[in-house]
Structure 1
Amino acid sequence: MTPHPDYANTHDRAVAGRYEAREADWRNGAIVYQVIVDRFAPPNDPQAKRRLYPAPKHLRSWDESPDQGMFLPEYQVWSHEIDFWGGDLASLRGRLDHIQRLGADVVYLCPIHLAWTNHGYDALDYQQVRPEYGTRDDVVALADDLHGRCMRLVLDGVFNHMGRQSPAFQAALADPSAPTRTWFDFSDAYPGGARSWANATNLPELNLEDDGLRDYVYGGADSVVRSWLRDGADGWRLDVAFELGMSLLGEITAAAHAEKPGSLVLGEICNYPAEWFPELDGVLHFTLREILLRLADETIAAPHAQRMLTRLYADADYEHLLKSWIYLDNHDTARVANTIRDDAARRLATVLQFTLPGAVNLYYGTELGQRGGDDPESRAPMRWDRVTDGNPTLAWYRQLLDIRRSHRALRIGDLRWLVTERLIGFERYTDRIGDAVFVLANPSADTVGETVLLPDSKLMDSSGLIDQLTGRRHVSHRATVTIELPPHTAVVLVGDREPRHGYTPYKRVK
């Protein structure tokens, strides 16, 4: 009989080696720190870099904030797309201590390849690093630095489209017999004469059905995907992956794994994630983010949100969901301080981000409480003046990061939904009761009191449960806990197994 999805994976602790195998895979439950190199750390000598930003590009001061510009028809871009702040790979390497202190396992870089705009999603050459950032040797050095700190490097692969100014496109545009002509789809029916992503004429789409182009991007031994992995990268985040389609994504993933077994290929998938595995190792969790934001602003009530989450985690392959990135903000969205304006609701959303199955994707500056609306406001320079022990937002994120590091089940454990009425509740567990973590959250504007069933057979009766957020002690009784949660609060409960005067009921149950 197939188990009800609410209770799937309840009695399967005994699968030999499951958790050890997950723990050995760096992709599972990782902390991923996202960086825009231009905005992360100021350059050592900004004046010396000015020659790299010829007009109409503009190098701005680190204390300036980005703002909406005007459309420049002669360049087919907005003026804020060619404003720069001067960060580079050398300045990033000088600030790795901050990322490491947070406990990040992975540094993910927005595009670093040669491009014309600041965001880099208009590639000119995938094999070159943009000179404003440095050289390919600088990327190798960064990867070496990260590996020396037991961290990994993930790059942004923008293979759905290139920039209109790329030599490949310009050659194809000028000469119908050019070798790269078949890389693009030309027609007078298209704005700008070629099929472009979202009809943005600066971003002509690539015809990945072309054999030569596939060989260049990922198929050949010296392809873009494989050569960067050889140079030290550990994986790829694929831009607009949902438009590449499942078949091509499977080929890219296979090529990456052939070059570097255990590398990560993660897709920007706006769609429901269930059928995108195993063509991808993981997805950027758009659907999960949508649920969490709507939960935080009370447009979805807790019982409905839990039903949606239950369905999501039941439908999609769990091993791949452990590798998928849970994010609340990034370079394409307003910052979470803007999207969830209530402090308590925002903290609740971050508790769920850090405790649900998956890898946490933390956007630079979010840990400092940086604010910003939609692009370009969300891409402001890192506020290093806020990296202080007195910053309450940084203290909160450090606490969540410490909790996640300290509890194995939050990184690689299975998921079991708790029986609740008005709260969201779930358990993350492994084959050891000492790993079990129970999470209860009240996303409503009312105080909620409930008696909640804790369906874990190894949880000892009348044993203590310690909230990792506050240190407050709760007591389980006959596999239940009675709890009262104020509005927009959560508890992260872990069993107290410490002996008292030499006695513990866990002496024979581990």
Structure 2
Amino acid sequence: MHFKLIHAIGLMAAFTLSSAVRAAPSVDIYDAREKDWRNGAVVYQILVDRFAPSTNVEGKRSLYAPPKVLKPWSETPARGVDLVDQKLNSHELDFWGGDLPSATAKLDHVAGLGADVVYLNPIHLAYTNHKYDALDFKKISPEFGTRDDFRRFAREAHNRGMKVVLDGVFNHMGRNSQPFKEAMANPSSRWRSWFAIGPQYRGGARVWTGYQNLPELNLEYAPVRDYLYRSDDSVVRSYLRDGADGWRLDTAFELGHAYLQEVTRAAHAEKKGSLIIGEIANYPGEWVRSMDAVMNFSMRHIVLGMASGDIAPASAGRMAARMVSDAGIEPMLKSWVLIDNHDIPRIATQLPKQAARRLVQTLQFTLPGAPNIYYGSEVGMTGGPDPENRGPMRWDLVSETNPEMAWMRQLIALRKHHRALRVGDFRLIEADRLLAFERHASRALDTVLVFSNPTPQAVTERVMVANAALMDDTPMADLLAAPGAKPVTVINSGIMTVTVPPETTLVLGPVERDLGGYSRYKRVR
């Protein structure tokens, strides 16, 4: 009797638990991720001086007094000569005259590509063209405009459904800044503690990576942190109020975990859901515990290493999976996946062969993260190391007939139409000769399978897709093929044979069979 009672109670408990599980409202984590603009966004990067020619360039000519030089838009940047007295290279003082109003006028181009975020390289008051040598973080460089011009830029971007991220260069300022000049000239100056000054430093002050034009800020001094991000009128908070939606932190690893956490808390307190993303050249690891996301240089090396043959495809997959596991999928979805930018040769120069370039770009748009498009990549601009990679935007190449632009739009549209690529989880597909993975969300038919073959020969491999929601005998279609193309393979009990052409990243998605109203997915969606 005692045993029967216990057994009955056990059955009732099991039934109750089972019913509770079935009846519990399902919270779709992927729906929640989609509501966060930072996840899987398409980011478009702009160097303001080089993006769009000013309509008032003649009226601005006085802003480029020697040793600065105003160049014609048609000229390509080239390495200059060292200016010993300026502690610069002359190419750092070459300008092309772009500004915030001209960039605002070109936002339709950016929105037309399908970008979700506009990232601006530094716009604050600085001496050089690149603006990484701040004179005053709270002012806009007059070559670019005013704070009102920035507010209008942000407003117009928002009107087109895009967010705006600014470049925060909080590790250092410029040697021409008044605070640094006073600090160096007067040991009793109130600015003295803002910098590390002393005879132990070559040049008299601690500078970033040996560049004498970039004296480092002393973040250990509380007033510096108040100025940058802690006070109500700080740099970080005031620009967020002006319309910025986040900050990309230059050389973020040099700020250290404690201060990165402070910056992130300050930004989130000022604007809930704002983005703090760090330029972290290290493995992401614990860095994503101190801010929202990182610029994912590690993923860039994995992708390019596989494309060049230096990393075996299956090994590249394991590296990517380890990174996602260590960092967590949420920070990875917010992290920017970049191939080129203002510090790296342009993708068309790195990968002049179209097939290799498209293999890499397809991975950039299908791996977890937010693809970072460097202005001009969408039209096939070329350029070697700095300053060649910072050429003025080639508006003459913007055309509906430009194959690079059509390809970029296709990749962006792929992400727009498949939420698994924007906010889905990442899982490896069991394969030996391919980089193979899936992106999956709550609906089985949203699943996207990716197979990359960097070799010059086609690869046919029988692989296992460990997704129990994909039904037996489900056709798989090439998501980058022309509409109406026939499925390329079929999955059976999680096993499928796939053939990937040479130097190709193949993107497949499940297609529900037309069975006259019957659906294998009727109860598994």
Give the TM-score range, shorter chain. Answer: over 0.9
Q: Note the 1:304-383 alignment, pairs <5 A.
A: 304-383=315-394
1:494 aligns with 2:509: yes
d(CA) in 1 for partners of 2:289 and 2:302?
24
Partner of 1:132 in structure 2? 143
Alignment check: 8 A CA contact 1:371 1:378 kept? yes
1:89 aligns with 2:100: yes
d(CA) in 1 for partners of 2:422 and 2:500?
25
Partner of 1:410 in structure 2? 421
d(CA) in 1 for partners of 2:471 and 2:336?
34
Task: Give 1:479's aligned amino acid.
Answer: G
Partner of 1:28 in structure 2? 39
1:99 aligns with 2:114: no
Q: Say which SS state the counterpart of residue 452 (structure 1) adopts.
A: strand
Partner of 1:152 in structure 2? 163
Task: Give 1:478's aligned amino acid.
Answer: S
Partner of 2:295 in structure 1? 284
Partner of 2:176 in structure 1? 165
Alignment check: 8 A CA contact 1:63 1:381 kept? yes
d(CA) in 2 for partners of 1:403 and 1:268?
27
Q: Pick closer, same or farther for the CA change 1:21–1:393 going to 2, 3 Å.
A: same
List runs of 5+ in structure 2 lacking aligned partners: 1-24
Q: Pick closer, same or farther for the CA change 1:450–1:220 going to 2, 3 Å.
A: same
The offset of 1:478, in angstroms, is 2.5
Alignment check: 8 A CA contact 1:301 1:443 kept? no
d(CA) in 2 for partners of 1:438 and 1:15?
25
Higher gyration radius (CA): 2
d(CA) in 2 for partners of 1:472 and 1:29?
29
Q: Say which SS state the counterpart of residue 411 (structure 2) adopts.
A: helix
The offset of 1:484, in angstroms, is 1.3
Q: Say which SS state the counterpart of residue 277 (structure 1) adopts.
A: helix
The offset of 1:51, in angstroms, is 0.9
d(CA) in 2 for partners of 1:196 and 1:45?
36
Task: Give 2:426's aligned amino acid.
Answer: L
Q: Pick closer, same or farther for the CA change 1:498–1:477 going to 2, 3 Å.
A: closer
The offset of 1:291, in angstroms, is 1.0
Q: Say which SS state the counterpart of residue 135 (structure 2) adopts.
A: strand
The farther-off stretch of 203-212 and 482-491 is 482-491
Alignment check: 8 A CA contact 2:475 2:513 kept? no
Partner of 1:11 in structure 2? none
1:224 to 211, 222, 235: 235
The offset of 1:385, in angstroms, is 0.8
Two-structure CA RMSD over aligned residues (Å):
1.2
List runs of 5+ in structure 1 lacking aligned partners: 1-13
Partner of 1:446 in structure 2? 457
TM normalised by structure 1 equals 0.96
The offset of 1:45, in angstroms, is 2.9
d(CA) in 2 for partners of 1:309 and 1:108?
25
Q: Pick closer, same or farther for the CA change 1:467–1:450 going to 2, 3 Å.
A: same
1:96-115, CA deviations, whole angstroms, 9 ceiling, x for partnerless residues? 11100111110000000000
1:18-72, CA deviations, whole angstroms, 9 ceiling, x for partnerless residues? 1121111000000010000000011113222211100010000111000010001
Partner of 1:16 in structure 2? 27
1:476 aligns with 2:491: yes
Q: Say which SS state the counterpart of residue 48 (structure 1) adopts.
A: coil
1:250 aligns with 2:292: no
Partner of 1:508 in structure 2? 523
Q: Pick closer, same or farther for the CA change 1:15–1:299 going to 2, 3 Å.
A: farther
1:222-263, CA deviations, whole angstroms, 9 ceiling, x for partnerless residues? 111111111110000000001111111001101111111110
Q: Say which SS state the counterpart of residue 355 (structure 1) adopts.
A: coil
Partner of 1:51 in structure 2? 62
Q: Note the 1:41-80 alignment, pairs <5 A.
A: 41-80=52-91
The farther-off stretch of 181-190 and 128-137 is 181-190
The offset of 1:16, in angstroms, is 2.5
Q: Pick closer, same or farther for the CA change 1:220–1:487 going to 2, 3 Å.
A: same
How many correspondences in the alignment? Answer: 497
Q: Pick closer, same or farther for the CA change 1:309–1:15 going to 2, 3 Å.
A: farther
Partner of 1:213 in structure 2? 224
d(CA) in 2 for partners of 1:36 and 1:202?
20
Partner of 1:429 in structure 2? 440
The farther-off stretch of 496-505 and 310-319 is 496-505
Partner of 1:233 in structure 2? 244
TM normalised by structure 2 equals 0.93
The offset of 1:180, in angstroms, is 1.1
